[in-house]
Amino acid sequence: MTITESGLPLFVLGRDADPHSERGVDCPGELPPASDPALVERARVAKERLGDRLFVLGHHYQRDEVIQFADVTGDSFKLAREAAARPGAEYIVFCGVHFMAESADILTADSQKVVLPDLAAGCSMADMASFDQVEECWEVLEDAGIADRVVPITYMNSSADIKAFCGRNGGAVCTSSNAKRALTWAFEQGQQVLFLPDQHLGRNTAVLELGLSLDDCVVYNPHRPDGGLTAEQLGNAKMILWRGHCSVHGRFTPEAVDDMRARVPGVNVLVHPECRHEVVTKADYVGSTEYIIRTISEAPAGSSWAVGTELNLVKRLAGMFPDKSVAFLDRTVCYCSTMNRIDLPHLVWALESLAAGELVNQITVDPDTAHWAKVALDRMLALP
């Protein structure tokens, strides 16, 4: 670990480290080795061959080696909307994770093909709420006599099945930047909210943005009978939070905030609302990925920042704004392991396959699921 002049730790991933040691799933077809010196040129040539038929989306948490080939960068919803705004692109290559590619497929035309360079790029948070589990939860709410007054809201970081569930049951989707508006809308439609799948975003928004208390929130655990809650607890709660979390943001602790402040007087702590409530309440600034980027970009030169979000983005911000000290909030380096599965070898393989006329790793959502998921997305888009 290197310490910068401001006293902030600077984390660097060794270039000789093997980024594929935990791949677990290989692409079909020939995958170029990560050490191939011509890999960047091969990506450039393949992308040039595809021309306007191709549109590459890169999530903020992607590696720099991938981001350099993105036509647009952004958070998951921004990228899905960007894809929908490019009806002329035959192929949408989504450098992100599975639920993001699903959203792109839902919002794009039937003639467009959405490709995920590595099918193993999932999302642990999205996987924490399966369709069967959520259906069972709804039955528990029905048995408790409250389902008709509960509005389901799902975070964008969820599968198409869960978005469709919310669409069918009068609910909507939200992002980390419009969660307050979505919850305000939900409480205008009903008396209670079932918030999926990230308990921390739901709790932080309800308590810090809407003024509810922690006692107004209960956590539904899908691995326990009736979610581990009594009918009375369910009936009294305003927010029924699904027991899910982000494996990256959930690792930040209040102790990490205290440690950073002790080592770097005057440091600004900036975190994502997927962090634990105890971390968010200790931070100076809280907001979505886009908010984090904007806050750092607009910060005065010479200011010091400790950022609680995915490490690829933190490193990129540090490089983009050398006049400021930007560091990872925790002492322990943590990449999003599933985002990191989209690497340059997989991207090259996908682009060269498409250039050769072979459609690979297409992500599709069945028509019924897509319809109801879009209903939930459209309700979000209609929010004031």
Domain regions of the chain by residue span:
28-122+341-365, 126-246, 253-328
Question: Is the per-residue pLDDT at 82 higher than 80?
Answer: yes
**Per-residue pLDDT tens digits for 165-202:** 999 999 999 999 999 999 999 999 999 999 999 999 99
The token pair that represents 365 in the structure block: 């959502």
pLDDT at 340: 77
Give residue 5's pLDDT.
34
- Can you give the pLDDT at residue 23? 29
Query: Residue 145 burial (CB < 10 Å; 0-12/13-18/19+)?
Result: exposed
**Cis peptide upstream of residue 273 (ω within 30 degrees of 0):** no
Average pLDDT over residues 274-294: 96
CA distances from 228 to 133, 135, 372 (A): 13, 16, 29
- On whether the 126-246 domain is CATH 3.40.50, my answer is yes
The DSSP call for residue 266 is T
Pairing of strands 150-155, 54-59: unpaired
Q: Confidence class of residue 205 from pLDDT cuts 50, 70 and 90?
A: very high
Q: Identify the CA nearest to 302 among candidates 266, 271, 260.
A: 266
Work out the angle between the directed axes of helices 98-107 and 76-84 (0-180°, nearest 10). Answer: 30
Could you read off the pLDDT of 132-170 as tens digits, one per residue?
A: 999 999 999 999 999 999 999 999 999 999 999 999 999
pTM: 0.86
CA 21: distance to chain centroid? 23
Per-residue pLDDT tens over the stretch 14-46? 222 332 333 233 444 455 555 567 899 999 999
CATH number of 28-122+341-365: 3.40.50.10800
pLDDT of residue 35: 52
CB distance 91 to 67 below 8 Å? no
Residue 152 β-bridge partners:
194
Average pLDDT over residues 355-360: 97
| Pairing relationship of beta strands 9-10 and 2-3 according to DSSP bridges | antiparallel
Please tell me if the domain spanning 28-122+341-365 has the same topology as the one spanning 253-328.
yes
CATH topology of domain 253-328: Rossmann fold (3.40.50)
Q: Is the pLDDT of residue 11 over 50?
A: no
